[in-house]
Structure 1
Amino acid sequence: MKKLFALLLFCHVAFGVKHSLKYFLTATSGVPNFPEFAAAVVLDEAQVGYCDSIRTAEPKQDWVRKFIKDNPQHLEWHINQCSGNQQFFRANIDGLMERLNQTGGAHILQRMNGCEWDDETGDIRGFNQYGYDGEDFIALDLQTLTWIAPKPQAFITKLRWDTEKARLQFNKNFYIHECPKSLKMYVHYRKSFLQRTDLPSVSLLQKTASSPVTCHATGFYPDRADLSWTKDGEELHEDVDKGEILPNHDGSFQMSVDLNISSIAPEDWKRYRCVFQLSGVKDDIRTKLDKAAIRTNRGFPAGAVIGGVVVLLLLALCIAGLFIWRKKYNGTQQHKNSCPAFTFKADIYKNISSKL
């Protein structure tokens, strides 16, 4: 069984991975306790940057901080982009409210744009679309270089934007060439920063004396790994609950696997091991089931958990409108997986400078 797993694990290395660079911009009016403007940058579903109408642009992961330290001009670029986009979105949400005869209430204007890249096939897909109050407003069709207006209220915008040929060509070049170029650069930079020779941290956790024992591994990269419980060297499948591999805020990954110990006699604990295997690393991490090594609620590093929750809440606030938008999404390929993205290089402000 172990040999079969190893074969499957290393075969997985050859499989392609779809990477994405996403930029999510949100402007609000009449929404209490939320910034009038917020932007979140997401690389492969992990938040890497953030700014809003209160805070200036700031990186959210260690590798991004290192990247900016090596390339300080990018931080200044982001600060300028945050300011420029904020002015654009503020003006446009006011303009839309006036066009739609909305004098009050809560309103949300969003832009989702970016690109995806399959590192096996080389396929690239770009996207750029706007939403207003939870519904699609206007989206760019890169095949025809025209704008799609699913709502009559957006038809005025479509007519205006379809005549801006230079801007359309800029969009095409940005989403087909510049955005993927930056995406590849970030993926490679992150990989070189995170892919280290030291193995991750593996801990045994338990909520109460009668709860399952959780084996938790964190800080590994890439996400091609396995975590399992064994008895006398044989992998267990019964009384075991394996969780999914999840991203950490720093770009590394974590996973856990639970072992139901209710039927295990105390004298048999020494026969059990938690085994962590990382693709490309020769040595496994084997942790013996030992009461002395188990960390309970009292000893659990709550600060680290709270810190992770805060990061997730920030991202959740930024993308809350996205889920409202998508719940009415009809599943067409045009809008599938559409999400925001950004690049350090291209002048995105040109891409959004036209009035809605």
Structure 2
Amino acid sequence: MTTFTRVGDSGALAGAATNITIEELGFFSLTAVRTGSGSLKLINWSTGGPGPVTRDSDSDGQAGAVSAIAVTRNRNLTVTAVRDGSGDLLLISWDDGIGAGPIARLKDTHGKAGAASIVTIVPGPSKTAADLVTAVRAGNGSLKLISWSLDNATGTMTRLGDSGDQAGAVSLIAVSVPTPNVVLTAVRAGNGNLKLISWGVSEDGHSISRLGDSGDQAGAVSEIALAGVVTAVRAGNGSLKLISWRISSDGTQIQRLHDSGSQAGEATCICISRFGDARFVTAVRAGNGSLKLISWDIDPTSGTIHRTGDSDDKAGAVSEVALAVPGGNNITTAVRAGNGTLKLITWRMEG
């Protein structure tokens, strides 16, 4: 049986926030949020200790209005992907000040990408020249992937290529890089159903090709999260469901293996992260409105899914949830608390 112990939280150290994202930096965490005034703000936190979470530094007024946020890290730089005030996709590179140092804005991609209403970003596949890949809902409502190079000395980002019109309308997007040469998107397709699509990125990063998809192997969803080849969704009945998948080595075949059935109840604000080789953690807003963490064991060969424990009633009401797993037995959640403010909570998972 897995247990979750609440270790500490950030108390009242942050104000109103929405579009909450978190990036784990070992003993530190970085949140990127939309503030009460509508602008992007990055905040550094010390989250690795046994006591309260402390706020170390922030980006202050270095970024403007945003309405969507995603964040990733590539080697020594953090990159935020946002929907800016004009409705376009904008990438911004940052010296994130890991270890309580100052956060400095470096470069951005202004004018290099068009309209986007959903924004996601991941590091590019390791066997390609693409350092970053964004997967967005473009201005025409369709899914588009864009590959980027990142100069880690200067923060300069160069657009390499995109997927063009190889995918149709989507209303939700999650993305992962499950192998060194494949990018995987999990989307809510035009018919409202979950669909996984695999993509190959050329060695030079300039070409993105659709390899395969999951067809009609999954039904209706209203939320999607993705870790590796495991999707965590809000199913048609409103409950949390995990589904394990297998992707062929060339990325052309996607096979549904197993799902979690009725092992979880109603959930929104769904996040999922890998915790070791066979364990995954979901963080959700449960049916009663409170934050709940659930641990799952997923057999890497068969894909069978077993719920092993949860955090019970150790956290209060939330309306947004983000999740980070730094390693060891540590977990950090960043939430929009009941009063509308950003709060970080650290956890220890055992068993």
Bigger radius of gyration among the two: 1
TM-score by structure 2 length? Answer: 0.25
Name the structure with the higher strand share: 2
* Greater RCO, 1 or 2 (C-alpha within 8 Å, sep 6+): 1
TM-score by structure 1 length? Answer: 0.25
